[in-house]
Structure 1
Amino acid sequence: MKHTMRALALASIAALAVTACKKEEPAPTAAAAPAALKAPAKDDNAGWKKYLQEVVGQNLGATTNSPFLYYLPPESDAEFAGSYERQLESVKTALARGVQPGNMLAFGSSASTKMADLIDAAFKDVPADSMKGVRVLFIGNAAENARVQTIVQPKGVEYTFVEAK
């Protein structure tokens, strides 16, 4: 699933890059703001995957490498517990190896509380100020924002929150 999400994220970013290179289109007269995105229904797994890719694309900022997107399916999914354990192990492994500056770790799910739990468990053993130059994007419920921010900011990351609404 991790490879699928990375491939989908890369494909969407590549499509944006190719589209941006068209020179025959006239330049817009006013700066276009990013389209406001609406979160899909809580149990719409495919809709959430697409939504998260679009939100990540709008929040790349100064990220110089392909983002790492960590996603949990809806809690109603029969494979939720297994997906949670696999994603937790994947994040822990990435953090243990070290994340280089210029990278983005994006976390999102309709199961926002469980995603915050995953972030808490994964970042528990990361040393303070060891992730300077790394961007962490959390896409979830506003109720989880302060909790996630408290967990990741001491690690030195640039933290961004996008409310899924």
Structure 2
Amino acid sequence: MKTTTRLMLIACLALPFLAACKKEEAAPVAAVQAPLVAPTGTESADWDKYLQEVVTRNIDGATSVYLYTLPSETSADFAGEYARQLEKAEADVARGGVEGTLLAYGSQNSAKSADLAIAAFAKAQAGSMKGVKVLFIGAPADSERVKAAVVASGAEFKFIEAK
């Protein structure tokens, strides 16, 4: 009887210690991500990879993601690509926002990406993009222009400097 009582007492005293050890094991270690560095060249593939990684790191629970990018202004069909992206962006914004959607704009030419985002939101109804997040990846000088165009629609604006 004494042995059983002693074993029960030892088990009761050891239980909190074992539980604490298990909690420490279960605590996930936060992964440290290396800072992103924007490409210095005008190669569209490099910029696309960089922009996709920026969007991935800033997805913040979005269920639908749309990324609008532009090639280098020196590319053969820059005007055509800009027109196609603008048409798509305008149509997406005109439909109105669905909560959980992320619209991301970025390219090696921050000013042109800003122009694209501003033009896409030019006809947006006030409050029509509530629950939508807009991510602009570019230069700080262009950020405020895009923010002014986006905020009126009710969308949440976030800026990431391409550096």
Q: Same fold by TM-score, threshold 0.5 exceeded?
A: yes
Cα distance change of structure 1 residues 153 and 43 upon mapping to structure 2, 3 Å threshold: same
Considering only CA atoms, is the larger Rg found in Structure 1 or Structure 2? Answer: 2
Kept in 1, the 8 Å contact 2:106–2:136? The answer is yes
Residue 17 of structure 1 is matched in structure 2 by none
1-structure distance, mates of 2:77, 2:104: 21
* Two-structure CA RMSD over aligned residues (Å): 1.7
Q: Which amino acid aligns with 1:86?
A: R
Percent identity (aligned): 50
Pick which of 27-36 and 107-116 moved more: 27-36
Tell me, yes or no, if the aligned pair for 1:42 and 1:74 is still in contact at 8 Å. Answer: no
Q: Deviations over 1:103-152 (max 9, x none)?
A: 00011101110111111111111011111110000011111011111110
Using the alignment, how far apart are the partners of 1:162 and 1:28 within structure 2?
30
Shift of 1:29: 6.9
- What is the match of residue 129 of structure 2? 131
Partner of 1:55: 54
Match of 1:39 in 2: 38
Q: Give SS of 1:151's match.
A: helix
Structure 1 consecutive aligned stretches of length 4 or more whose deviation exceeds 4 Å: 26-30
Provide the aligned length of Structure 1 versus Structure 2.
139
1:4-153 matches, within 5 Å, as: 30-63=29-62, 65-153=63-151
Q: Determine if contact 2:64/2:100 at 8 Å carries over to the other structure.
A: no
> Is the CA contact 1:139–1:161 (under 8 Å) kept in the aligned structure 2?
yes
**2:72 aligned partner, one-letter code:** P
Q: 1:75 to 1:32 in 2, by over 3 A?
A: same
Distance between the aligned counterparts of 1:39 and 1:153, measured in 2? 26
TM-score (norm 1): 0.79
CA distance in 1, matches of 2:48, 2:100: 23
Q: Deviations over 1:40-71 (max 9, x none)?
A: 124121100000110000001131x1311110
Q: CA offset at residue 93 of structure 1?
A: 1.0
Distance in 2 (alpha carbons) for counterparts of 1:95 and 1:69: 13
- TM-score normalised by L of structure 2: 0.80
**Alpha carbons 1:106, 1:137 under 8 Å: kept:** yes
- Preserved contact between residue 67 and residue 106 of structure 1 (Cα < 8 Å): yes
